């Protein structure tokens, strides 16, 4: 299993702390705190390796719209005026947190939107800090996908910039430690999942195009 390089900023200090705990265990007055430190530090290092796993997945080529991440669909519906339907996906700390492009096309906009840091499984997360990326597939309307920060680490990385071409299912970013992803389906498309469905980034189709521009 491939591990995203972002893991090492957490793993290396945790292993160092665990080693310090082992050293303390060799000193009679600090056996208990040393053992506790080692247990917690090595446990966190193992969790960080697990959290930042980055499985290889074949890129879909059938033209459908795919989930940008692994998790459970929280809600599907219109959130404002117009015909745009939004699907929101909750990524728990046990899910893969690499985001994948839901459709192929050209990236036309990447915007960082400041906000709050509510728990990602709640409605309040709609106002959380986020990165919003717009993709324009050839002959289709623009599709917007969001990376939304959660309560704990509050950090997002987006690796694409305006002008880049992306393939459906291609890795484009990562969110740290519990988060939410949202896909906004424009006119000429429809969402094919419902609240409660389990989805996987780049593997589960969540929508389809119904017409061209």
Task: Quickly list DSSP for 23-81.
Answer: HHHTSGGGHHHHHHHHHHHHHHHHHHHHHTB----PPP-S--EE-SSSEEEEEEE--SS
Q: Could you tell me which of 124, 144, 131 has the C-alpha nearest to residue 75?
A: 124
Is 36 considered catalytic here? no
> Looking at 67, 179, 189, 211, which residue is catalytic?
179
Backbone angles phi, psi at 19, to 5 degrees: -65, -40
pTM of the model: 0.85
Alpha-carbon distance 77 to 191, whole Å? 9
User: What is the mean predicted confidence (pLDDT) over 146-159?
Assistant: 85
User: What band does 132 get if pLDDT is binned at 50, 70 and 90?
Assistant: very high
Which DSSP state fits 155? -
pLDDT class of 192 with cuts at 50, 70, 90: very high
Highest mean predicted confidence (pLDDT) among 45-49, 140-144, 164-168: 164-168
């Amino acid at each position: 299993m491939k591990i995203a390089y972002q893991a090492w900023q957490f793993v290396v200090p945790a292993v160092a702390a665990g080693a310090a705990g082992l050293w303390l265990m060799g000193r009679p007055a600090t056996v208990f705190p040393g053992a506790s430190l080692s247990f917690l530090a090595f446990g966190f290092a193992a969790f960080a390796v697990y959290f930042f796993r980055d499985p290889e997945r074949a890129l879909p080529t059938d033209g459908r719209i795919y989930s940008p991440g692994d998790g459970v669909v929280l809600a599907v519906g219109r959130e404002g005026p117009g015909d745009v339907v939004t699907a929101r996906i909750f990524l728990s700390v046990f899910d893969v947190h690499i985001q994948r492009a839901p459709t192929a096309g050209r990236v036309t906009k990447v915007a960082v939107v400041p906000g709050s840091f509510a728990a990602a499984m709640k409605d309040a997360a709609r106002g959380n800090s986020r990165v919003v990326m717009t993709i324009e597939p050839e002959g289709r309307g623009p599709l917007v996908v969001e990376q939304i920060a959660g309560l704990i680490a509050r950090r997002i990385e987006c690796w694409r910039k305006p002008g880049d071409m992306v393939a459906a299912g291609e890795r484009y970013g990562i969110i740290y430690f519990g988060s939410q992803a949202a896909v906004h389906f424009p006119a000429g498309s429809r969402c094919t999942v419902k609240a409660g469905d389990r989805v996987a980034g780049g593997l589960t189709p969540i929508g389809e195009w119904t017409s061209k521009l």
